Amino acid sequence: MNSYNDNLHSSVITTLQTLELAEKNLKSNLDSSIFSLYYAEGAIITASENLNLANVKYKQQQNISSQAVKNANIAANLTASAMQQKSYTAQSVTNAAVSASNIQIASNAVVRLAGDVGNIFSILKAADAEGELYLQGEMAYSLINATAYDAEKLSQTAMEASTYTAEVSSDTVADEATATNSAVTNLLAATDADFNAIAAIVTTDHAALASAGAIEKIAEGTLESSNAEYFSVRSAYRLNNRELNLNLTITNKTNISYDVYFNYYNAPFGLGKKHASTKSETTVDSYPVQNYYLMLVKDSKKQVFTISNAENMLLNHRQRKLVTLPQSPNKRLIQTTVSIDDLVDSDGQSMQLGVKYAIFVFAQLREDYKKLINNFDDYLSAPSESFALTVDLVSPETKSIEQKEGKVKFTVIEPAPNVQHRVIYLPDNKGLISGLLSEQGLRSIEKEVLKLERIADKYDPIIADLEAEILTLQANIDATSDRIDAGNEPPADAATDNETTAEKPDNTSSSSSGSDDQKALSASKKEYAHLKKELASMRKKRDTELQSIKPAKQDHPGFYFNVKIAEQVSFANYTVAKPSAKPDDAKNGHVHADLSTAITDNFGDPLIPGYRYIPVILSVADVPEEDMVQYKSSLSDYAKTTPFKYEPTSLPSKNEKV
């Protein structure tokens, strides 16, 4: 290459290298921001779940405390009644004993009186039997005997009443009521303490949720900024790669092949034209590139790969792949599929899975074209973006994932012994985690920004031009109006009626100018109205398209989660699925994972009974750590997976076949 081409090629490589390095750094920052947001959202979800459970306990404890207050009031009333009853009973015992004693005295007196009446009756009977006095004595004796009998019965009843009154256990009731009241009072104190404790927990959880929310919003902003920076540099790399490096792109990477896209080399001079070269003329009537070759270089060596290395690799057909020339020179894009066995790298080594490489395009120019431009060097592109071939693992289809009988069951599409299927449970409680940024939400923001940019690119220049034209036209209208107004005013030193003999000025030129101004003013006003109408129409169209931009619908689980995050989930927070115990089912890829009370979600929180969870399957390679780079993990589509309500169940017995 000549010095100009050397400098140009070096500048292109430096530009792309700088952008690629910046892209890698920003990608690292973006990944860090994603993990920060993920853990911040996890803190919000944990705080929300804790607060929700605390609120449930708070309501329960509130009911218990309310009932304890009622019980305490009843116990206090009962104690007061028992103490009053104790006092009344003691008084009743005393009164009953006194009454019984008095009745006993009265009864004894009646009995003695009855004895005296009996003696008198005996005397009367002996002295005057059948006489009037005898008859009266007999009647008195009969009545006193009856009275004495009743007096003794009354005395007995009074004694029994006194005995029964003394047997009333008012003291025991009062003691038990007092003890009960004391116990209920202690219970009330305990329930009040529990209520105050759960109230404090609710307050603390509220504060924790508010703090987590503030941190999460900061993490959201950081991620959005990192994402914008990353994609701006990514777009800049693609733009520079398209304009400076043939738009060399590697796509459709599998474990056995990859596709290479690039634009054809553009000749600096027009084809089919005559150009002076020394003393003769040379005409290039064909495409200047004789052959295109693809060359494979390790990523670690792409920055030191030169055109001399490329020319040496032309000698080994295993180190370069010939690309068919276009049928038409006007065709710009070429695509070719390269098998993993088609090329060896610049070191002569076969392509390895998981190792990063870069592709170079070597354009071998025609000799007559080299003579035409007086430069006999061929063209070597800058390196492509780094890439690696991997084995893409396949995750199970969402329709095969189901939860029943205390297990999560699914079907593996391609059963393999070196693939591990991790079952991760994502919380799906939209009432607790609404408003969080998810991967879909971030992609939605990117799409919205692109739409806004397209709308701005489409309408803003037109609107700006119309506004500038309107301002210019308004200034012209004002100036023309001022000239017309100035022409219609009489001169300050106009002649009086007595100076009729003075020579009148020639106004022919002035009248003609005024007529032109009137026409110009009319045309300007018409154009002004037209431009204002067109400006209003453009603004309305722009506003209509802006209003048509709507954020994407938020899918569950409603927080940021992707393959990279799933790979970092702790081993304690996922369950490895195992094949079915039935040989036929295992052969067909039926696997399952048991649900138990020890299961945790992706954030490490225990599954909560009654809450909804999404079972997501991460398929990873079960190989030594150094071989992990050869595989690309896969995550099932959790947005389309049906959530299930977690209810703790006992594990199936060891003898049970699944």
Helix-helix angle 170-244:439-488, to 10 degrees: 60
In percent, how much of the chain has pLDDT > 70?
A: 85
pLDDT at 4: 67
pLDDT at 503: 47
Residue 512 scores a pLDDT above 80: no
- Which pLDDT does position 618 carry in this prediction? 94
In the chain, what is the straight-line distance between the N-terminal and C-terminal CA atoms, in Å?
70
Give the per-residue pLDDT at 479.
83
Cβ count near 250 (within 10 Å): 20
What does the alpha-carbon distance between residue 574 and residue 425 come to, in Å, rounded to a whole number?
Answer: 7
A 10 A CB-CB count for 365 gives: 21
pLDDT in tens, 638-658: 888 989 988 876 444 444 443
Whole-angstrom distance, CA of residue 112 vs CA of residue 155:
15
Structural tokens at position 2? 């000549």
Q: Residue 381 has what pLDDT? A: 93
Percent of the chain whose pLDDT exceeds 90: 29
Q: Is the pLDDT of residue 220 over 90?
A: no
Is pTM beyond 0.85 here?
no
Number of Cβ within a 10 Å radius of residue 525: 14
Amino acid identity of residue 123, one-letter, is I
3-state class of 544 per DSSP?
helix
Question: Is 260 in contact with 294 (CB distance < 8 Å)?
Answer: yes
Contact 559, 590 (CB under 8 A): no
Question: Is 90 exceeded by the pLDDT of residue 428?
Answer: no
CA-nearest of 336, 330, 390 to 361 is 336
List pLDDT tens digits, range 17-48: 999 999 999 999 989 998 998 898 888 888 88
Report the range of poorest mean pLDDT among 248-257, 330-339, 541-550. Answer: 541-550
The pLDDT, as a whole number, for residue 588 is: 81
Whether the per-residue pLDDT at 497 is higher than 60: the answer is no
DSSP state of 397: P
pLDDT tens-digit series, residues 370-409: 888 787 888 999 999 999 999 999 889 989 999 888 889 9
| Predicted pLDDT at 275 | 46
pLDDT for 574: 93
Structure-model confidence comparison of residues 335 and 276, the more confident one: 335
Three-state secondary-structure class, residue 1: coil
User: What residues pair up with 186 in beta bridges, in sequence order?
Assistant: none
Q: Does 499 have pLDDT greater than 50?
A: no
Position 326 confidence tier, pLDDT thresholds 50, 70, 90: low
| Omega before 557 within 30 of 0, i.e. cis | yes
CB count in 10 Å sphere of residue 455: 18
How long, in residues, is the chain? 658
Average of per-residue pLDDT across 239-256: 92
Query: What pLDDT shows up at residue 122?
Result: 83
- Quote the distance between the C-alpha of residue 3 and its chain's center: 55
Rounded Cα distance between 657 and 585, Å, is: 11
The predicted-structure confidence for 354-366, as pLDDT tens digits, reads as follows 999 999 999 998 8
pLDDT tier at 501 (50, 70, 90 boundaries)? Answer: very low
CA 234 to CA 228: how far, in whole Å?
10
Q: Is residue 493 over pLDDT 60?
A: no
What pLDDT is recorded for position 495?
45
Mean pLDDT, residues 578-583: 83
Nearest CA to 35 among 305, 222, 265?
222
Say if CB 326 and CB 277 are below 8 A apart. no
Measured at the alpha carbon of residue 106, what is the angle toward residues 101 and 108, in degrees to the nearest 5?
Answer: 95
Classify residue 609 as exposed, middle or buried by CB count within 10 Å of its CB (0-12, 13-18, 19+): exposed
C-alpha closest to that of 34 among 442, 447, 631, 425 = 442
Up-side HSE of residue 191: CA atoms within 13 Å toward CB? 20
The listed range with the strongest mean pLDDT (141-155, 431-445, 547-561) is 141-155
- Which helix H or strand E contains 263, and what residues bound it? strand 257-263
Name which residue leads in pLDDT, 280 or 8: 8
Mean pLDDT of 75-79: 89
* Rounded distance between C-alpha atoms, residue 609 and residue 52, angstroms: 13
